[in-house]
Structure 1
Amino acid sequence: MRLYLIIILSIITLSCNNKKQELNLLSQDRAYNGPIIDMHIHVDKPEDLPPFSLSLCPPFSNLIEHFDPINEFEDVWNEKFNNPDCENPLVSPKSYQDYQQRIEKQLKQNKVIAVASGAFEDIVKWKLEYPKQIIPSLEFRIGRDSISPEQMKTILIDNDIKVIGEISNQYFGIAPNDPRMFPYYKMAEELDIPVAIHLGSGIPGTPYMGYPKYEAKLSNPLLLEDVLKRYPKLRVSIMHYGEPFIDELITMLYHYPQVYVDIGGIQWAYPKEYFYEYHLKKIVVAGFGKRIMYGSDMIIWPELIEHSINIINDAPFLSYEQKADIFYNNASRFLRLNPRQN
Structure 2
Amino acid sequence: MKLYNIIGLILLVVSCNSKPGQEEPLQNNQDYTGPIIDMHMHAENDNTLPPDKLGLCIPLSNLVPHFDPKEAYADVWTNTLKNPNCKNPIWSSTTFEDYSSRVQKQLTKFNVIPVVSGSESVLRQWAIKFGDKIIPSIEFNLERDNLSADSLKSIINKQNIKVFGEISNQYAGIAPNDPRMDDYYAMAEALDIPVAIHLGTGAPGSPYMFSPDYVAAYSNPLLLEEVLKKYPRLRISVMHYGEPFIDEMITMMYHYPQIYVDLGGIQWAYPSEYFYEFHLKKMIAAGFGKRIMFGSDTFIWPELLEESITIINNAEFLTKEQKADIFYNNAARFLRLDK
- Could you say which residue in structure 2 is the equivalent of 1:136? 136
What residue number does 1:43 align with?
A: 43
Shift of 1:65: 1.1
Alpha-carbon separation, structure 2, partners of 1:192 and 1:201: 28
Taking structure 1 as the reference length, what is the TM-score of the superposition?
A: 0.94
Q: Supply the distance in 2 between the matched residues of 1:83 and 1:122 (Cα, whole angstroms).
A: 29
* Mapping 1:173-192, distance limit 5 Å: 173-192=173-192
Question: How many pairs does the alignment contain?
Answer: 334
Output the CA distance in 2 between the equivalents of 1:16 and 1:98: 56
What's the CA shift for 1:8?
Answer: 4.5
Residue number in structure 2 paired with 1:110: 110
2:78 maps to which residue?
78
Q: What is the CA–CA distance in structure 1 between the aligned matches of 2:237 and 2:209, rounded to whole Å?
A: 26
Note if contact 2:45-2:95 (Cα within 8 Å) is conserved in structure 1: no
Please give the per-residue CA displacement for 1:35-63, whole angstroms capped at 9, x wherever unaligned.
00000011112021111111111011111
Inter-CA distance 173–13: structure 2 relative to 1 (3 Å threshold)? farther
Q: SS at 2:180's partner residue?
A: helix
Post-superposition shift, 1:12?
A: 1.6
What's the counterpart of residue 13 of structure 2? 10
Q: Distance in 2 between matches of 1:140 and 1:94?
A: 25
The letter for the 2-side match of 1:284 is I
Q: 282-291 vs 81-90, which deviates more?
A: 81-90
User: Equivalents in 1 of 2:197, 2:305: separation in Å?
Assistant: 20
Q: Is the 8 A contact 1:31 1:313 kept in 2?
A: yes
Structure 2: gaps (5+ residues): none
Identity percentage of aligned residues? 59
- One-letter amino acid of the counterpart of residue 306, structure 2: E
Contact kept? 1:106, 1:303, Cα under 8 Å: yes
* Structure 1 letter corresponding to 2:237: S
Q: Where does structure 1 differ by over 2 angstroms across 4 or more consecutive aligned residues?
A: 2-9, 13-17
| Partner SS state of residue 238, structure 2 | strand
**SS of aligned partner of 2:131:** coil
* Residue in 2 that maps onto 1:291: 291
Partner of 1:326: 326
Q: Secondary structure at the match of 2:105?
A: helix
The answer for the alignment partner of 2:198 in structure 1 is 198
Query: 1:259 Cα deviation (Å)?
Result: 0.2
- Whole-angstrom distance in 1 between the partners of 2:282 and 2:305: 23
Corresponding position of 1:227: 227
User: Unaligned stretches of 5+ in structure 1?
Assistant: none
User: Where in structure 2 are the equivalents of 1:156-305 lying within 5 Å?
Assistant: 156-305=156-305
Query: What amino acid is the match of 2:310?
Result: N
SS in 2 for 1:188: helix
The CA RMSD measured in Å over matched residues stands at 1.8
Distance 1:150 1:135 in 2: 22
Would the aligned equivalents of 1:177 and 1:227 in 2 still touch at CA under 8 Å? Answer: yes
Equivalent AA in structure 2 for residue 296 of structure 1: S
How far has the Cα of 1:5 moved from its partner? Answer: 8.4
TM-score scaled by length of structure 2: 0.95
- Higher mean alpha-carbon deviation, 259-268 vs 47-56, is at 47-56
Asked if structure 1 preserves the Cα contact closer than 8 Å seen for 2:239 and 2:261, the reply is: yes
Is 2:44–2:96's contact at 8 Å kept on the other side of the alignment?
A: no
CA contact (8 A) 2:171 2:214 kept: yes
In the aligned structure 2, how far is the partner of 1:128 from the partner of 1:266? 30
Contact 1:221/1:245 (CA < 8 Å) preserved in 2? yes
Q: Call closer, same or farther: CA 1:16–1:89 in 2, change over 3 Å.
A: farther
Is the 2:29–2:315 contact (alpha carbons within 8 Å) kept by the matching residues of 1?
no
**123-132 vs 74-83, greater mean Cα deviation:** 123-132
Distance 1:65 1:14 in 2: 54
**1:95: Cα distance to partner?**
2.4
Q: Distance in 2 between matches of 1:315 and 1:4?
A: 40
CA deviation map 1:230-268 (0-9, x unaligned): 000000000000000000000000000000001111000
Q: Distance in 1 between matches of 2:261 and 2:137?
A: 16
